Amino acid sequence: MSSEPRVCILVERYLPDTGGTENQTRALARGLREEGIGVLVITRRFRRELPRSGAVEGTPVFRAPPWGRSSRMRWMLALTSVPILMRLRKHYDTILVSSFHTLGAPATAVARTLGKGCVLKADADGEMSGAFFQPSLAKLGLSRLDGVLRLGVGVRNMLLRTADAFVSLSSEMAHEFEQCGVDPRRIHTIPNAVDTENFHQVPPTVKQQLRCRLGLPRRTILGIYTGRLVTYKGLPGLLRVWKNVACGNEESCLVLVGEQSADIDGCEAELRRFVTANRLENRVFFAGHVKNVDEYLKASDFFVFPTENEAFGLSLVEAMACGLPVIATGIGGIKDIIVDRQNGLLIDPADADQLEGAIRLMLRVRDTVARLGREARKTVEEKYSIPVVARAYARLLRSVTAHPLRGVRRNPLSSEERRHIPDRSPQPGASRNDEGQRPVRAGLPAAPGAVGTYRHADGRKTEPHEVPE
């Protein structure tokens, strides 16, 4: 029997639905299996016709009620996932929660009850502090409940802080965890991953073929945005800027790939009205929801991402993987990805003048644009590919499963000190002991070279993506 840990990924939505979280979970499951980690997924049965259980791309998937597409259903999943977690307890060693703002509390409670490991991964800013919930309360006219929210978040966080490890997508998110009382030794900065085999650069001839097939203009400089059509992505401001750009440049077009979400921030209708009112139908194209996002990126010349709220920016990294020069706002996790004028252009949120200037640079200075595209692809290959990120998670899961202080990194030992630690690693074919537990392996919780932020005892930090020997 393998001595590798087994992980249960708890996530609100999974395949066959597609989206940022779903695609990340899919990539992580695939990468972990390739690392030898056993994986199963518990998710919500968002459509009635979906089976309650079955294999999806080789990963066992178990679906809990309720079905339906309302975002409010995630609150019910916090309850209905518990019986499945209990029933499958012999099939996993650690629970990994993706987007823990709602599902983190029940998962942590189950893990503590069963003696399992628990890793909480945030996919948005404010999941730990509670700021994640405040915009929704405000738009529903429930701001008066802020005090109740703070009290509830405080009680919830007392439980969450008992988790073995926290995964942040950015240094800013890691700081939020610390501010909320999480032991810094339990915080691991691991980015989201991109499939670099699917998202890659293509030669000009293929680019033209793609444009023809997708119905895009062939003899223009094509800018692109991919993601949800919501106001906080800065899209109303982008169209106002594009109107100015289009007046002085007849060889530029913009493609918006995506659709508005079900929440109250959706702005697709507003964007379409603006395009019609300003006669931009031949300069701005709405592709809608598509499954071949990679083809639209490969057919384009540059990527623009004027978001005003972003924890990581997966769409941005996908565009970079395709070798596109990018324009993005310097907020959230984007600040960890883009170095201004080295692998992309950074602008301030909601700054129309900066945005217009960056777009005009993309249209005119082709040598700079080509260099930015090459550096963007290089960045993704080094830091954000699936194998790199999966190895980081595999190291973390082995640490959480094997180490007595689950997920807490001790001070690193020198090579001389490490020589005197007896090797208690299980031999190939080792089985569980009489109590049904996996053998405890000796050694450091994280191997040198792991992706993540390492914190020394004196408070110093290494750069993300490298753990020292």
Q: What is the pLDDT of residue 404?
A: 41
Q: What is the pLDDT of residue 365?
A: 86
The position carrying tokens 């650690």 is: 94
Three-state SS at 285: strand
pLDDT tens by residue, 302-337: 999 999 988 899 999 999 999 999 999 999 899 999
pLDDT of 43 strictly over 80: yes
**Same domain (yes/no): 181, 229:** no
**Same domain (yes/no): 141, 287:** no
pLDDT of 3 strictly over 70: yes
The highest-confidence range among 64-78, 117-131, 273-287, by mean pLDDT, is 273-287
Give the confidence band of 411 by pLDDT, cuts at 50, 70, 90: very low
The last residue of a domain, from among 325, 353, 383: 383
SS (H, E, C) 292-338: CHHHHHHCCCEEEECCCCCCCCHHHHHHHHCCCCEEEECCCCHHHHC
Q: What is the pTM of this model?
A: 0.78
Give the confidence band of 446 by pLDDT, cuts at 50, 70, 90: very low
Average pLDDT over residues 405-425: 39
- Which of 77, 125, 126 lies closest to 105, judged by CA? 77
**Percent of the chain with pLDDT strictly greater than 90:** 65
- Which of 330, 324, 293 lies closest to 309, judged by CA? 330
Q: What is the pLDDT of residue 336?
A: 94
pLDDT of 376 strictly over 70: yes
Compute CA distances 174 → 132, 166, 233, whole Å: 15, 9, 23
Q: What is the pLDDT of residue 75?
A: 80
Q: What is the pLDDT of residue 465?
A: 35
Average pLDDT over residues 41-51: 92
pLDDT of 71 strictly over 90: no
Average pLDDT over residues 436-440: 38
On whether residue 170 sits in a domain, the answer given is: yes
**Same domain (yes/no): 54, 160:** yes
Range of the domain at 296: 204-383
Q: What is the pLDDT of residue 277?
A: 96
> Which CATH number is 38's domain given?
3.40.50.2000
**Same domain (yes/no): 235, 247:** yes
Average pLDDT over residues 356-379: 94
**Same domain (yes/no): 9, 122:** yes
On whether residue 128 sits in a domain, the answer given is: yes
The last residue of a domain, from among 337, 355, 383: 383
Average pLDDT over residues 246-258: 89
Give the confidence band of 424 by pLDDT, cuts at 50, 70, 90: very low
pLDDT tens by residue, 385-404: 999 999 999 999 999 998 64
Omega of the bond leading into 439 within 30 degrees of 0 (cis): no
The last residue of a domain, from among 345, 363, 383: 383
Q: Tell me the C-alpha distance between 345 and 449, whole Å.
A: 29
pLDDT, averaged across the chain = 84
**Same domain (yes/no): 419, 432:** yes
Q: If you ran DSSP here, which 8-state letter would residue 206 be given?
A: H
pLDDT of 468 strictly over 90: no
Q: What is the pLDDT of residue 143?
A: 56
Q: What is the pLDDT of residue 124?
A: 86
On whether residue 198 sits in a domain, the answer given is: no
Tokens of 51: 């089976």
**Same domain (yes/no): 78, 9:** yes
- Count of domains for the chain: 2
pLDDT tens by residue, 86-114: 999 999 999 999 999 999 999 999 999 99
- Which of 141, 356, 70, 376 lies closest to 241, judged by CA? 356
